[in-house]
Amino acid sequence: MALRRLQASEINTKKEGTYQVLLQYEKTQDLLPKLVTVSFEVEKIRMPINLLGKGTSIDRKQMRSEGNKKGNIFLQFSQYNTRLLGQ
């Protein structure tokens, strides 16, 4: 019997843009992914400036005029520690 697991997902929101999630597994029998890639395209980035670091300057007008923003987030997992809930 073939292992059935989630490999990709696309999330479309009204206000926050589109997100694509790609799950990559190391072995065919693995239940949990080794690498998760989240790709996104958003109109506005709502991020507190203090997250960017001290001394960072941003031209907000230019940022707004540039249109949609694209990016990727890469999450790599190793040494999973799992347990059944209720046990």
Domain count, the chain: 1
What's the whole-model pTM score?
A: 0.65
Cα-flanking dihedrals φ and ψ of residue 22, to 5°? Answer: -115, 125
How far is residue 1 from each of residues 10, 43, 45, 70, measured CA to CA in Å?
27, 43, 44, 39
52: in domain: no
Which 3 state secondary structure label does DSSP give 3? coil
For 15-63, write each residue's pLDDT tens digit: 777 899 999 999 888 888 999 999 988 776 666 655 666 676 777 777 7
The Cα 31–Cα 39 span in angstroms is: 22
Q: Residue 2 falls within a domain, yes or no?
A: no
pLDDT score for 85: 85
Q: Is the pLDDT of residue 1 over 60?
A: no
Domain span holding position 18? 8-47+57-76
Would 43 be classed as within a structural domain?
yes
